[in-house]
Amino acid sequence: MTVNILFAAKADSWAAYETPLKTALAEKGVSANLARDFAPDQVDYIVYAPNSTVQDFTPYTRCKAVLNLWAGVENVVGNQTLTQPLARMVDHGLTQGMIEWVTGHVLRHHLGMDSHIHGLNGAWTKEIPPLAEDRGVTVLGLGALGSACARALKGLGFDVTGWSRGPHDVEGVRCLHGADGLEQALATAEIAVLLLPLTAATEDLMNAERLALMPRGAVILNPGRGALIDDAALLSALDSGQIGHATLDVFRIEPLPADHDFWAHPSVTVTPHIASETRPSSASRVIAENVRRGEASEPFLHLVDRGLGY
């Protein structure tokens, strides 16, 4: 049987995904028509980006699953017309990209590389960093990306604490959860990495009160979601020295507006949402596997829990 797969994303994404998707589907033995336009009642699967023009899923009466191209689903999970199973993107490319961004920036701040990169201006001043085992790094969020980064940081020798809303177990990592656990996790967070999903429970998680729990001069890395941080509270904490530096890859509005205070602040590094991009080749294999599973009446991978929002 041949299935119809609607590619519901922007035109530039279609150019990048058309060939890898067709190749991946063929490798999985799936006979498929893949296109950007089908009659809604003829669509079996939707490969989806939340910025697509498809916002009403009601006409897609025979659709078996919506397969998200992005790791984040906060912009679609609340859509009341979406009654089909929704799978988020979890793939090797996303995970490896995030590991590389996180470990690179953690090492940058741990080693104090900025002073060397910008030059010592003739002052032969040695500031010897502690060994990684004596540097407290906290990863907030222990899903697929957070757990992978926590393991990688532990592998580099860091003293790693992980926090999540519910219990998790990551080998070699001190894992905490709940409100009390969050306070404990932040108390030792000389470097904090934010990798939580954005939900009603996590929006503005890093507010003035929680920023004050961190060791003075701590560093925040946010490759997760922009709205995890109260922007005004962060700027205030940077100005006071409570937070020593913030390296931010995600923002409430993207691209970050040219007049935003983050651009000009000397203790903020802005990166243009590059920490973990979906790579068409690896993401296509995940999508193809889920289509294969749907046709074989097997459970889909990476289904979203609508109640939790991720």
| 290: nearest Cα among 278, 279, 282, 302 | 302
Rounded Cα gap, residues 253 and 261, in angstroms: 13
As a residue count, the chain comes to 310
Strand arrangement of the beta sheet that strand 191-194 belongs to? 174-177, 159-164, 136-140, 191-194, 218-222, 243-248, 268-270
User: Considering just the CA atoms, what is the radius of gyration of the chain in Å?
Assistant: 21
Q: Are the C-beta atoms of 30 and 291 separated by less than 8 Å?
A: yes
Q: At what angle do helices 144-155 and 92-111 cross, to 10 degrees?
A: 40
Q: For the chain, how long is the longest CA-to-CA vector?
A: 72
Catalytic residue status for 279? no
Candidates 273, 279, 293, 302; catalytic one = 273
Catalytic residue status for 273? yes
Q: Are the C-beta atoms of 64 and 18 separated by less than 8 Å?
A: no
> Which one-letter amino acid corresponds to residue 206?
M
Candidates 88, 225, 245, 285; catalytic one = 225
Active site residues: 225, 273
